[in-house]
Amino acid sequence: MSAEGSVTTTLRDEVTEAGVRGWIAESWMRDAPLLFCADAPVKSSSDAVLQLLYSSMYGEGDLLRHLRFLDYRVSHAQHPSCEYDYRTTNLAVDLRDGVRLCKLVAVMTGDRGVMEAAHVPATARAVRLRNVEGALHAMAAAGLRLGDVRAADVVDGDRAKSLALLWSMMHHWQVRAR
């Protein structure tokens, strides 16, 4: 590998006005393993510290305030979208919640706002409709022709319209088989 393609050069090029924080959020955190198990009741580092120290430091008040006084910030929180399984096994069922469509649109357009606006997990029909509508709106904004596909069609599991939507996405972004 030449010096032009080294990690140091790439890091230096990516750390511009966005700063180190932007580079870390973009590349390193995206591929990092989960800090908390998916079925764990605690999903943030502040809750973990409070549960760990509460019984031994009872009566101290706000433990996180004491840590902030020592200039130690406890701020990691694990979002449900990090735990979501994006693999697709059945198109008629897996696209219904809209989360996979939002992720696909976010990857293809580079617009992270689509995925940030998605509600994970999507358990209620209204939430699923909102997720799919957000994905369809982002597709239309990217210039994709949706035809007669509606959010309700995808949420209801209409295979023909779901496949038509996927086919138009492949045609629009020209995904080629390897």
Percent of the chain having pLDDT more than 70? 79
What confidence score (pLDDT) does residue 81 get? 76
What span, in angstroms and rounded, lies between the C-alpha atoms of 145 and 61? 58
What span, in angstroms and rounded, lies between the C-alpha atoms of 33 and 83? 10
Read off the pLDDT of residues 60-86 as tens digits, 9 standing for 90 and up: 777 777 788 888 888 777 777 777 788
Answer with the residue of higher pLDDT: 54 or 89. Answer: 89
Instruction: Flag the least confident range among 25-29, 97-101, 174-178.
Output: 25-29
5-41 as b/e: b if 16+ CB within 10 A: eeeeeeeeeeeeeeeeeebeeeeeeeeeeeebeeeee
Read off the pLDDT of residues 102-151 as tens digits, 9 standing for 90 and up: 988 988 888 888 888 888 888 899 999 999 999 999 999 999 888 899 99
CB 60 within 8 A of CB 66: yes
| Full-model pTM | 0.65
CB atoms within 10 A of CB 113: 12
What confidence score (pLDDT) does residue 52 get? 80
What span, in angstroms and rounded, lies between the C-alpha atoms of 141 and 7? 35
What confidence score (pLDDT) does residue 175 get? 61
Q: Crossing angle, helix 99-109 and helix 159-173, to 10 degrees?
A: 10
Band the pLDDT of 155: cuts 50, 70, 90.
very high
Structural domains for the chain: 3-69 (no CATH), 81-173 (1.10.418.10)
